[in-house]
Amino acid sequence: ALRGSFARKAQKPNQSSHHGLQLQASYKVAILGAAGGIGQPLALLIKMSPLVSALNLYDIANVKGVAADLSHCNTPSQVLDFTGASELGNCLKGVNVVVIPAGVPRKPGMTRDDLFNINANIVKTLVEAVADNCPDAFIHVISNPVNSTVPIAAEVLKQKGVYDPKKLFGVTTLDVVRANTFVAEKKNLKLINVDVPVIGGHAGITILPLLSKTKPSVSFSDEEVEQLTIRIQNAGTEVVEAKAGAGSATLSMAYAAARFVESSLRALDGDGDVYECSFVQSDLTDLPFFASRVKLGRKGIEAMIPSDLQGLSEYEKKALEALKPELKASIEKGIAFAQKQP
Ligand code: NAI
């Protein structure tokens, strides 16, 4: 379960689970920004999940058609569409998992931080509505810069008096997916077996793959470590440049986000063996938020795994120290933004 693909784990709703109980499609998922480049394929992948009974799609435009289209797939969940601020509250009522890919993506030459001014406000507004309508939900923040938007979400939830740090997640699954793919390619490993933890944050050098902790255990030359680390850190930019102005990663991101949703639903459903990397409130380092592997359970994060940060290679130790100032600044920028506009 450490690395399972969401599709592989899924069961049909009328199959019995290994406990002999009927597996019920019973969770409600909302996607905010559902008509976008990530939102649409993500909605499709979640529509395939047997654990989902309701899929609520929200956007400021164009979401009616997406929902009508998806609703014809003969999988269990009921798909509903919600357009514009006046329908946001209804979209969120009773929801168990809220996924937020709303906002603008990068164009060539932009950093994730260049998106701050637009996306900070979008995330703030959406999380306020989450606080008012489904404060117990797991919140998955995809909108960049994740290193700042997650601290913004935390502040908003605190202001509303409903912050549960165990249920707020910055989605960094794509970094793990990329690391797994690139390592398997380079080392000729069977992809399905490879699992590389990725820690830190979700931008440039704050993305730190722990290649020394790759499973199954593999050895890398110093040169391979350097090349792989840089490729994983720049993988998003690789896609931005290839798309040449048409946006950033959407399909691989949707795949990664769907895996994180499926992991969350399995955890909610009582699976006791669910681990994912995510950017969360953390006491593993001196930074208030940090991405690392967490164990997911019914109430959100059940445990952090401090041993993941022990026994790092010299390269990783240095890279960890080097990323801290940038990550700290991004976190503080998010907190300052949220605090100056109550
Ligand atoms: P997109 O522009 O294709 O879609 C964004 C959607 O958000 C649009 O449908 C738009 O109408 C909607 N939207 C805008 N303002 C909104 C609001 N106030 N409320 C609800 N919806 C709103 O962009 P794309 O490619 O889907 O990317 C979305 C975000 O995901 C970007 O910020 C991007 O940087 C981020 N991203 C994050 C990754 C990660 O690993 N965490 C990876 C790739 C992208």
Taking only the tens place, the pLDDT of each residue in 211-228 is 999 999 999 999 999 999
Residue 253: half-sphere exposure toward Cβ, Cα within 13 Å: 25
Confidence of residue 329 (pLDDT cuts 50, 70, 90): very high
- Whole-number percent of the chain with pLDDT over 90: 92
Alpha carbons 283 and 188: distance in angstroms, whole number: 36
Question: Rounded to an integer, what distance in angstroms lies between the CA atom of residue 138 and that of residue 94?
Answer: 12
Nearest CA to ligand 1 atom 35: 143
By alpha-carbon position, which residue is closest to atom 39 of ligand 1? 142
Query: Among 8-22, 103-117, 135-149, 328-342, which stretch is predicted with the lowest mean pLDDT?
Result: 8-22
E strand or H helix at 143: none
How far is 167 from 187, CA to CA, in rounded Å?
36
Q: Which of 19, 72, 140, 202 is catalytic?
A: 202
| Beta pairing, strands 274-281 & 289-297 | antiparallel
Token representation of residue 227:
């090349």
pLDDT in tens, 40-84: 999 999 999 999 999 999 999 999 999 999 999 999 999 999 999
Closest ligand 1 atom to 58 CA: 20
For every residue of 29-92, DSSP letters joined together read: EEEETTTSTTHHHHHHHHHT-TTEEEEEEEESSSHHHHHHHHTTS-SSPEEEEEESGGGHHHHH
Residue with the nearest Cα to atom 13 of ligand 1?
Answer: 102
pLDDT, tens digit, for every residue of 31-51?
Answer: 999 999 999 999 999 999 999
**Dihedral of alpha carbons 277, 279, 283, 287, sign:** positive
- The confidence score (pLDDT) of residue 125 equals 98
Percent of the chain surpassing pLDDT 70: 92
Does residue 4 carry a pLDDT above 50? no
Angle at 174 between CA 68 and CA 40, to 5 degrees: 10
Q: pLDDT for 194-203, tens place per residue? A: 999 999 999 9
Ligand 1: residue of 121, 130, 146, 248 to mutate (most ligand atoms within 8 A of CB) is 248
Q: Which residues contact 186 (CB under 8 A, 6 or more apart)?
A: 224, 228
Q: To 5 degrees, how large is the angle CA 331–CA 335–CA 336?
A: 115
Q: Which residues make Cβ contacts (< 8 Å) with residue 333, sequence separation at least 6?
A: 113, 116, 148
The C-alpha atoms of residue 161 and residue 159 are separated, in whole angstroms, by: 5
pLDDT band at 17 (very low <50, low <70, confident <90, very high): very low
Please count the CA atoms within 13 angstroms of the CA of 285 that sit on its side-chain side: 22
Of 277 and 4, the structure prediction assigns the larger pLDDT to 277
Q: Based on the residue annotation, tell me whether 72 is a catalytic residue of this protein.
A: no
Residue with tokens 């009616």: 64
Q: pLDDT value at position 25?
A: 60
Place of tokens 């931080």: 113
Using a CB cutoff of 8 Å and minimum separation of 24, what contacts does 13-21 make? Answer: 13/50, 13/76
45 or 5, greater pLDDT: 45
The pLDDT of 89-108, averaged and rounded, is 97
pLDDT digits (tens, 9 = 90+) for 238-261: 999 999 999 999 999 999 999 999
Cα 239 to ligand 1 centre (Å): 15
Residues with CB under 6 A from ligand 1: 32-33, 35-39, 59-61, 101-106, 115, 119, 122, 126, 142-144, 146, 171, 174, 202, 247-250, 253
CA of 217 to the centre of ligand 1 (A): 36
Among protein residues, the one with the nearest Cα to ligand 1's atom 32 is 143
Rounded distance from Cα 60 to ligand 1 centre (Å): 11
Ligand 1 atom nearest 125 alpha carbon: 18
The mean pLDDT of the chain is: 93
> Which is nearest to 329 in space by CA: 226, 203, 245, 176?
203
CA of 263 from ligand 1 middle (Å) equals 22
CA distance 192 to 289: 30
Best residue for ligand 1 mutational test, from 40, 57, 143, 176 (most atoms within 8 Å of Cβ): 143
CA pair distance 24, 275, nearest whole angstrom:
22
Residue 260, Cβ neighbours under 10 Å: how many? 26
| pLDDT for position 297 | 98
Pairing of β 97-100 and β 138-141 = parallel
**Structure-token match 């979700």, residue found:** 202
Is residue 5 over pLDDT 60? Answer: no
| Mutation probe of ligand 1 site: the residue of 142, 178, 252 with most atoms within 8 A of C-beta | 142
Please determine, for the modelled complex, whether the ipTM score is greater than 0.85.
yes
Average pLDDT value for residue range 114-124: 97
**DSSP code, position 155:** H
Centroid of ligand 1 to alpha carbon of 224 (angstroms): 33
Which residue puts its alpha carbon closest to atom 41 of ligand 1? 142
In testing the pocket of ligand 1, which one of 141, 144, 250, 330 has its CB within 8 Å of the most ligand atoms? Answer: 144
- pLDDT at position 19, please? 47
For the ranges 16-25, 28-37, 83-92, 293-302, the lowest mean pLDDT is seen at 16-25
Burial class (CB in 10 A: 0-12, 13-18, 19+), 269: middle
